[in-house]
């Protein structure tokens, strides 16, 4: 048992969140370089090279230079086994990010030094705050012109409502960026720009703040500014308190440049010491200790066609407790049956490695013949564990989905249902027409593009999307309600979801109020009940 505990203790499982273009994917790659998981950095947007960021594997991601699905990346560094959950930065895929954050024990928030806290950062931060998970901040792109550092910290504290504790401090920015000062060691790491290719380490020289050579390296003006800012910091900033960090109330802040690798190793080393091994998870009325319990896990993501040649479907599971042993039967709680997890594997983006064992904190992918749903619990037979479900976001955009070639109806339906099961889209049927008319709902409009792309490229089905004028969805609390007796106008659409539950689409909030006034006693809900 001690071996299992030691393996779990060295696990660190975290998500990386940011607004698009803040440098999240670049930072992820540099982590992997340090762990020896990859040898050269790709560039998502580089047109002169065929390389792409290792964490962006779907074709549409390579074409557009954005992350639209969450990737799982595992590597070893300095005695730790690290599981990174790289999330979509684009707001249209916030639902996938939400589910991914459910599988993480902490989050790294990447902020662009020239822009500060941006809209998508706020949304993702709120999800982390809801879960109370530790948040570590990496202020990126200091080698470009950046906002005043105190302004940046104030921005984080005022907009996000979390206190900050700078672990290091930048000296200048842009062309005058000279490095960072470590508040604990009182050493300055001097910045020298290097090629952004496969180099693991920027040129860094460490000098103590009292070393007379420092003035010559950074100049009198920046040296005096640094001394003044450090004095102000020591008197006014929050003290580092690991308990406040662990409860998500204080964010340690680091500065650097992911593109040039500067400050990345320092950040990674501090981060690994400050974060905890896998945390206990709530199962109905009890907390499941990762080290004291047998194997248990929950499904947080399903991805079809990761390997186009095999038309496969992978269920991603976060192991919450104990050790996974591929030779043993497990119990699928929602399916109420024993089974063996088929082809268990750990993933490095699209590359896979079949595994026979894994531990709490790890993420494994298993072949899914269509039996798993997002939020399902897997545990050892005879155990009563059921982890909290993952809420579904209410779609805000709706379109009628039409298959152009009626001869490909079977492929079309298979594709639509499989993509819906992944949670990227929700599909509904006309209340009376059934499956002859399909309505698709999404949280962000870019998901329509991904749906069209995937149906055409993975399933060979040409489709047409006809936008519908609805923006609000409500489920009927009583699923036995007779829809034909409801008083609705032309601007309200009666539909049902894939579980046959009745719901209504409204054009605006005024329609909802009018409906409730006309249909006394009929209760509406914003979320479906799983």
Give residue-wise pLDDT tens across range 160-190. 899 999 999 999 999 999 999 999 999 999 9
C-alpha span between 337 and 115 (Å, rounded): 51
- From residue 167, alpha-carbon distances to 145, 179, 340, 375 in Å are 21, 14, 46, 37
Q: Which of 250, 88, 90 is nearest to 167 (CA)?
A: 250
Q: Which of 216, 166, 163 is nearest to 190 (CA)?
A: 216
Domain boundary among 346, 379, 412: 379
C-alpha span between 77 and 200 (Å, rounded): 13
Domain boundary among 274, 300, 327: 274
Phi, psi of 516 (to 5 degrees): -65, -30
Q: What is the pLDDT of residue 102?
A: 85
Q: What is the pLDDT of residue 507?
A: 92
Tell me if residue 530 falls in helix, strand or coil.
coil
The answer to the question of residue 530 being in a domain is: no
Tell me if residue 57 falls in helix, strand or coil.
coil
Q: What is the pLDDT of residue 425?
A: 83
C-alpha span between 497 and 528 (Å, rounded): 9
Q: What is the pLDDT of residue 214?
A: 92
Q: What is the pLDDT of residue 230?
A: 93
Q: Are residues 238 and 353 in the same domain?
A: no
C-alpha span between 407 and 299 (Å, rounded): 35
- DSSP state string for 79-95: TEEEEEEE---SGGGHH
Phi, psi of 293 (to 5 degrees): -120, 160
Q: Are residues 357 and 405 in the same domain?
A: no
Q: Which residues contact 228 (CB under 8 A, 6 or more apart)?
A: none
Q: Are residues 285 and 348 in the same domain?
A: yes
Structural domain boundaries, residue 476: 397-525
Domain with residue 342: its CATH number is 2.40.30.10
The answer to the question of residue 385 being in a domain is: no
pTM for the whole structure: 0.76
The answer to the question of residue 359 being in a domain is: yes
User: Taking a C-beta distance cutoff of 8 angstroms, is the pair 435, 413 a contact?
Assistant: yes
Q: Are residues 29 and 79 in the same domain?
A: yes
The answer to the question of residue 366 being in a domain is: yes
Give residue-wise pLDDT tens across range 424-460. 788 898 887 666 789 998 877 877 888 888 888 888 9
C-alpha span between 19 and 66 (Å, rounded): 11
488 token code pair: 């609705």
**Pair type for strands 250-255 and 163-166:** parallel
Domain with residue 128: its CATH number is 3.40.50.300
Distance of CA 119 to the CA centre of its chain: 16
Domain with residue 446: its CATH number is 3.30.70.3280
Q: Which residues contact 329 (CB under 8 A, 6 or more apart)?
A: 338, 339, 340, 381
Q: Are residues 451 and 515 in the same domain?
A: yes
Give residue-wise pLDDT tens across range 4-47. 999 999 999 999 888 878 888 888 888 888 776 555 544 333 33
Q: Provide the number of structural domains found in the chain.
A: 3
Q: Within the chain, which residues score under 70 in pLDDT?
A: 1, 36-71, 88-96, 193-204, 304-311, 348-351, 391-393, 433-435, 527-530
Alpha-carbon torsion, ordered 477, 479, 480, 484, to 10 deg: 90
Domain boundary among 243, 274, 305: 274
Q: Are residues 371 and 401 in the same domain?
A: no
Q: Are residues 203 and 332 in the same domain?
A: no
Q: What is the pLDDT of residue 90?
A: 47
The answer to the question of residue 386 being in a domain is: no
C-alpha span between 10 and 485 (Å, rounded): 60
Q: Are residues 59 and 206 in the same domain?
A: yes
Q: Are residues 165 and 45 in the same domain?
A: yes
Q: Are residues 237 and 328 in the same domain?
A: no
Please tell me what DSSP assigns to residue 303.
E
The answer to the question of residue 388 being in a domain is: no
Phi, psi of 298 (to 5 degrees): -135, 150
Give residue-wise pLDDT tens across range 390-419. 766 678 889 999 998 888 888 898 888 888
Q: Are residues 425 and 302 in the same domain?
A: no
Q: Which of 107, 174, 130, 102 is nearest to 320 (CA)?
A: 102
Give the number of other CB atoms < 10 A from CB of residue 3: 9
The answer to the question of residue 509 being in a domain is: yes
Q: Are residues 143 and 10 in the same domain?
A: yes
User: Taking a C-beta distance cutoff of 8 angstroms, is the pair 117, 139 a contact?
Assistant: no
The answer to the question of residue 313 being in a domain is: yes
Q: Which of 399, 312, 310, 319 is nearest to 357 (CA)?
A: 319
């Amino acid at each position: 048992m001690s071996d299992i505990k030691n393996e779990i203790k060295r696990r660190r499982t975290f998500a990386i969140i940011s607004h698009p273009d803040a440098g999240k994917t670049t930072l992820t790659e540099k982590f992997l370089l340090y762990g020896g998981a990859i040898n050269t950095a790709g560039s998502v947007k580089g047109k002169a090279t065929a390389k792409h960021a290792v964490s962006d594997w779907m074709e549409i991601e390579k074409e557009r230079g954005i992350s639209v699905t969450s990737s799982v990346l595992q590597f070893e560094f300095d005695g730790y086994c690290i599981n990174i959950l790289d999330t979509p930065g684009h707001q249209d895929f916030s639902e996938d990010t939400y589910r991914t954050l459910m599988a993480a024990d902490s989050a790294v928030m990447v902020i662009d030094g020239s822009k500060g806290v941006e809209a998508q950062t706020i949304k993702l931060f709120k999800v982390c705050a809801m879960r109370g998970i530790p948040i570590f901040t990496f202020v990126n792109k200091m080698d470009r012109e950046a906002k005043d550092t105190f302004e940046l910290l104030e921005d984080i504290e005022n907009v996000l409502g979390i206190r900050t504790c700078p672990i290091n401090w930048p000296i200048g920015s842009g062309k005058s960026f000279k490095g960072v000062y470590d508040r604990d060691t009182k050493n300055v790491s001097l910045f020298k720009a290097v090629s952004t290719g496969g180099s693991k380490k920027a040129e860094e020289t460490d000098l103590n703040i009292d070393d007379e050579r420092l003035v010559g390296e950074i100049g009198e003006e920046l040296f005096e500014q640094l001394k003044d800012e450090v004095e102000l910091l020591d008197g006014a900033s929050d003290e580092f308190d690991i308990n406040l960090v662990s409860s998500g109330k204080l964010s340690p802040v680091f500065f650097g440049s992911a593109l040039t690798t500067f400050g990345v190793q320092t950040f990674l080393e501090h981060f690994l010491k400050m974060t905890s091994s896998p945390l206990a998870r709530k199962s109905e009325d009890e907390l499941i200790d990762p080290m004291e319990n047998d194997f248990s896990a929950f499904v947080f993501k399903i991805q079809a066609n990761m390997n186009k040649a095999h038309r496969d479907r992978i269920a991603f599971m976060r192991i919450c407790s104990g050790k996974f042993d591929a030779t043993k039967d497990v119990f699928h709680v929602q399916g109420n049956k024993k089974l063996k997890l088929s082809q268990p594997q750990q993933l490095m983006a699209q590359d896979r490695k079949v595994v026979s064992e894994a531990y709490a904190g790890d993420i494994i992918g298993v072949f899914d013949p269509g039996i798993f749903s997002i939020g399902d619990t897997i545990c050892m037979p005879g155990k009563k564990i059921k982890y909290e479900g993952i809420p579904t976001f209410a779609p805000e955009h709706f379109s009628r989905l039409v298959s152009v070639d009626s001869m490909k109806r079977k492929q079309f339906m298979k594709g639509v249902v499989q993509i819906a099961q992944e949670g990227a889209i929700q599909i509904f049927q006309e209340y009376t027409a059934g499956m002859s008319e399909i309505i698709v709902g999404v949280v962000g409009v870019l998901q329509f593009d991904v749906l069209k792309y995937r149906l055409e490229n993975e399933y060979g089905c040409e489709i047409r999307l006809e936008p519908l004028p609805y923006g609000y969805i409500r489920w009927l609390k009583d699923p036995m309600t007779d829809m034909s007796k409801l008083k609705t106008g032309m601007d309200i659409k009666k539909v049902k979801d894939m579980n046959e539950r009745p719901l209504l689409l409204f054009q605006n909030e005024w329609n909802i109020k009018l409906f409730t006034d006309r249909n006394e006693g009929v209760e509406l809900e914003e979320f479906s009940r799983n």
